[in-house]
Chains A and B, each alone.
Chain A
Amino acid sequence: MSSPEAPGEARGHAEPPPETVNQRVAEWNEAELGVEGTLLGVVTAPAPVLSAEGSRVDPTAPEVVQLAADLVATMRVSPGCVGLAAPQVGESVKVFCVDVSEHPKTRDHHGTFVLCNAEVIESSRNEKAREGCMSVPDLTGDVKRATRLVVRGQLPGTGETVTLRANAFEARALQHEIDHCDGFLFLDRAAGAHAIHARKTYL
């Protein structure tokens, strides 16, 4: 049960995750950042930044707020893009944005949001699916991911700690982006030696 007027920043780990969608995160959008996002170039593997663990950030720092706005702006102009992590724009830090609201495989979702220093708290019910990534444009891979997930991170700007429960496609997207922030690509999660495929269709 979320309580927007009493964010859990000070209590941190004490606040249990909401049973359904976290209203605070669902209501968040990039207008809260108060800065215009700039479009950034997306780097592709084998860029070393994609394989380095990102540093933790101060979510209230002006450069982090700007990066959050830039990530959302860049995600918005990339066709079919449902998430973008800072290492994909060359910044080795733990910040990513997600928006799966338009995707057919989405069940519940939190709309557009950005998380800093996010980590997976609980995960269960793995399912295998094929993923593509803007940073690995010529390959796809079969990856097992949890379909039930609890993630904790901080919102950029206010820095408040939020815990959210995600399922289905939003859970997959969150794990993919958190992996980017930790220096992992879907290639690191391949389900087997024959699980990486040459991409067959170009949009």
Chain B
Amino acid sequence: MTLHAITVLGHDRPGIIAEATGILSSLGLNLEDSSMTLLRGHFAMTLISAGDAASAEIEAALVSLTEGGDLSASVRELTREEATPSQGRSWVLSVHGGDRPGIVSSVVGRVAAVGGNVTDLTTRLAGDLYVLVAELDLPVEVDVDTLRDDLREVAAELGVGVSLHEVEADEL
């Protein structure tokens, strides 16, 4: 049983997911985690599959999806990694303001500097407005007030606003 990371990218149209997952299913592959969205109207899907098919076999099967030339697919074998649950806390970072180069790299650079891990991230450009929303795992030893000051400093340099708030799941 091997794991593969499979990506499908390209021009969006109805039926891509049905077709792609049908191909994987016919190879006996099981879909584990997957994520799909539209990025500026382009179809973008990444998924992890488990099964016995070899990479070359999966690539060959996906040709029927990509031979039209408007979609590309990639297949890469992965080593199975045990998820190591972090002991940190989850935070949501929001940044928005006028678009300019370097917003993402500058802001998440400050997060990386304290050992914070980005676990989910979305950016959207709408006209001149640039929006970044990221979910972060911050190690318990991180001083959040200091990080927030850091982020405000870099945001001020970029002329954007930043906010950071904890997302705690309520046990029910």
- Chain A interface (Cβ < 8 Å from any Cβ of B): 80-83, 103, 105, 129-134, 140, 169, 172-173, 176-177, 186, 194, 197-202
Contact = CB atoms under 8 A, between A and B. Distances in A.
Given A82-B172, A200-B86, 12 more contacts: A80-B171, A82-B171, A83-B172, A131-B171, A132-B172, A133-B171, A140-B169, A177-B172, A186-B172, A194-B37, A199-B85, A200-B89
Contact of B85 (A103, A129, A130, A201): A201
Nearest to A141: B169
B67 interface: no
Contacts of B90: 197, 200-201
Given A201-B89, A201-B90, A172 B83 contact: no
Interface in B121-151: 122, 135, 137
A26 to B, nearest CB: 20
B119 interface: yes
Given A194-B120, A200-B119, A201-B90, A131 B170 contact: yes
A130 B122 CA distance: 18
Interface residues of B, number: 20
B133 to A, nearest CB: 10
Contacts of A194: 35, 37, 120, 122
Nearest to A79: B171
A188 to B, nearest CB: 14
Contacts of B137: 200
A131 B172 contact: yes
Contacts of B37: 194
A197 B83 CA distance: 14
B168 interface: yes
A131 B169 contact: yes
